Amino acid sequence: MNLLTAEHDQRFLSATELTGKLIGRTASIGIVGLGYVGLPLTMLLADAGFTMTGFDVDTRKVAALNEGRSYIQRITSEEIAAMVNSGMRATADFSAIREMDAVIICVPTPLNEHREPDLSFIEETARAIAPYLQPGQLIVLESTTYPGTTEEVLIPLLERGSKLNCFRDHSQEELCFHVAYSPEREDPGNDLVARKDVPKVVGAPCTLSQQIASDLYSTIFTRTVKVSSTGAAEMTKLLENIYRCVNIALVNELKLLCQRINLDIWEIIAAAATKPFGFQPFYPGPGLGGHCIPIDPFYLSWKAREVDFSTRFIELAGEINTEMPYRVIDVVTRALNQQHKTVNGSKVLVLGLAYKKDIDDLRESPSLTLIELLRKLGAEVAYNDPYFPEVSQGRHYALNLASVSLDDISSYDCVLIATNHSSYDYAWIVEHAALVVDTRNATAGLARNNVWQA
């Protein structure tokens, strides 16, 4: 039953009613932030039968979705059109938050120019939705962030802007909204594990809100993992990404050592990975990329400084990983040198712009750093990437280039494999290029004297 409370002239949904709507898949759910995380999540929930509304400040995305057009490579326009035809709509008008039973926030959490957490997107979202909050609604934050964000930043802004309270044990339900934090664990390009089979971690300020959030996610995930607080859920996500970041730094450092003592790190990792316990393989590369691994650990370092704690593993891993593109350029320099050429004036073709193979995501891609470093040294740089026909300017780069054809690959002094997209024919590349520098072991088994590992 929906009640209008006299005090708030608002719609009140009891926890029992909300749970019923979630389990029965009749709830209206809003997703705020329709990017790489928010859009696939909208599709999953729409597929489960929920009435979906997507909110985004980017009106081009809103228009594209309402017209049935996709803007993410791995999602087809047909899929978007089918979802829109079945009732999903997108909007930049946040007053529609009023009609939602649950709202999930998936906005960006980047670092600012001082490499400190930039929570402005979460804060703007909180301010935008607060005036429309209704008692009984569930608000879930999915954006990756430091432990304490939900309690210290999100909840106070929602409470202030809505004149309602966050529900806690013994609160009066009619005057409260529910809050939870549930980290996104998507791994773009990973087709080995179905999204629904990746357990969903959920933390909340009290057991009732935790249970409601868990009921919501149980409709699309095989398993939810309840933790005792939003802070524990926030920290779980950071532990996962710091684990990756530190282990990648470890193999990157060992790669540099192996190069110096003439061993092949890839052969060694493959051999070590045959151990059936106690070892998980990580692979070296030209540097870290993506919206998560290069950024998230520094959210925790920043938070740790608040309590006079120094996160040394994170800082060291950051140092090593940041150094990797420079080391790749050293190899390019030596490889050209052996052919009596300098980087200055050489034509270099960078293969792959995306931060990892087979995806259309450029964020923090080491390829961008490699291109910048090569240009600074006077190289004439071109790129090829089937996922990016052209690239102009972004937050931290100004490329202004179009992807070139591989037909005249032999005209380049050096071909630098930065991303190992599956669509490349590496045997053909090695056969036709004058010189190849390979940062991804994409040419394994094709050893020729024109290939350098970097």
Ligand X SMILES: NC(=O)c1ccc[n+]([C@@H]2O[C@H](COP(=O)([O-])OP(=O)(O)OC[C@H]3O[C@@H](n4cnc5c(N)ncnc54)[C@H](O)[C@@H]3O)[C@@H](O)[C@H]2O)c1
> Which residues sit at the interface with ligand X, rule CB under 6 A?
32-38, 55-58, 61, 106-109, 121, 124-125, 128, 142-144, 184, 186, 188, 291-292
Q: Which amino acid, one-letter code, is at 188? A: P
Instruction: Report the residue number, 291 or 440, with the smaller CB distance to ligand X.
Output: 291
Give the burial string for 83-107 (b: 16+ CB within 10 Å, else e): bbeeebebbeebeebeebbbbbbbb
Q: Tokens for 276?
A: 């059936």
350 vs 385: CA distance, rounded Å: 9
**Amino acid code (one letter) for 152:** E
Residue 174: partners with Cβ closer than 8 Å, 6 or more residues away: 3, 5, 12, 135, 136
* Percentages of the chain per state (helix, strand, coil), in multiples of 5: 40, 15, 45
Q: Which is nearer to ligand X, 188 or 231 (CB)?
A: 188
| Residue closer to ligand X, measured from CB, 14 or 77 | 77
Q: Tell me whether residue 30 is exposed, middle or buried, using C-beta atoms within 10 angstroms of its C-beta: 0 to 12, 13 to 18, 19 or more.
A: buried
To the query of whether residue 292 is one of the catalytic residues in this protein, the response is yes
* Shortest Å, Cβ 57 to ligand X: 4
The total of other beta-carbon atoms located within 10 Å of residue 265's CB is 19
Q: How far is the CB of 185 from ligand X (least distance, A)?
A: 6
Q: Which is nearer to ligand X, 37 or 155 (CB)?
A: 37
Please report how close the Cβ of residue 142 comes to ligand X at its closest, in angstroms: 6
Give the residue with the Cβ less far from ligand X, 292 or 417: 292
Residue 318 beta carbon to ligand X: minimum distance, rounded to whole angstroms: 17
Cβ atoms < 10 Å from Cβ of 272: 12
Token pair 């926890």: residue: 15
Question: How many CB atoms are located within 10 Å of the residue 391 CB?
Answer: 20
Catalytic residue among 166, 258, 292, 414: 292
Cα-based torsion angle of the residue sequence 233, 235, 238, 239 in order, rounded to the nearest 10 degrees? -110
CB of 144 to ligand X, least distance (A): 4
CA distance 453 to 445: 12
Paired tokens of 85? 């035809």
Q: Which is nearer to ligand X, 158 or 415 (CB)?
A: 158
Supply the minimum distance, in Å, between the C-beta of residue 68 and ligand X: 17
Catalytically active residues, by annotation: 292
